[in-house]
Structure 1
């Protein structure tokens, strides 16, 4: 293999190419944002409905959609096949894997410890994952979504517990579902150009 000196221009071009590849994969994965936006919105509004109607003993049941979503996400990526990932794509994948595993552990194993702080902590984790993804691929829409999610998580600590699922559902709809739809539309528009 021949050693080549990279000029600053070639280095910048290579970095830009890697970022653009990750952006394309990320936009294509707007589907995953739509999936998780829907699951989160439905589960949170379901919990709020159960709480408001006195079903306190089963109010967490809608969140059993989440492990199903995790299994489906794994199946979705398995079905897509093994795609060669660059370093940025790997970083985003690993960060989301860590976020999701932490949320599942917190939600299903440590909910009794966190009690009324569970939803704010989940929002903060999702906000961090979203900000990491956005900064890796330089997407302002997703970055702003991550900031909104993070601030909502912080504000949620001050919200009466019964209304936390309502805020969670609204945030998932506005900051995950809608940007996911926008990413999918942009990706399809680029494919048809």
Structure 2
């Protein structure tokens, strides 16, 4: 069987699944609305409903396992509430304690830094807020682990909750100039 692989720009407000039979989710948006994906397709990792950006899809379970392993970096741009301090950045780099599966978990060391200018990203479909609510900061965080809502929990743990979260890179695959909702079929992933 020849596997299929896709790179997509997951929009804000979509779930990282293709359809649902759950009546509670009838008002939700799904990836299946973006493209007619083949049977057996699965997201490699997930982005929660309020997160956006680069999402890889495949029919190859071994490829999915490898990319989800701790061998492949995932880079995010996060807009956080407040003027983030160097102390908070150092905390992110060194690892912080977050809740995971009802227990405390210390995140692994990662790369984190404040962005000097706003990243070149498309406008989000839902307005975040305006300057009347105080300052914000853009940061870059690169992890090679991926616990549930990890980046959001990490920025909150250092006192700067995430307002917008965009995954911009998985391994050597970048979001580049993709537009929200773009779907690109590729021959294979080179991560």
> TM-score w.r.t. structure 1 length?
0.29
Q: What is the TM-score when the length of structure 2 is the normalising length?
A: 0.29
Give 1 or 2 for the bigger CA radius of gyration.
Answer: 1
Higher strand share: 2
Q: Name whichever structure is richer in helix by fraction.
A: 1
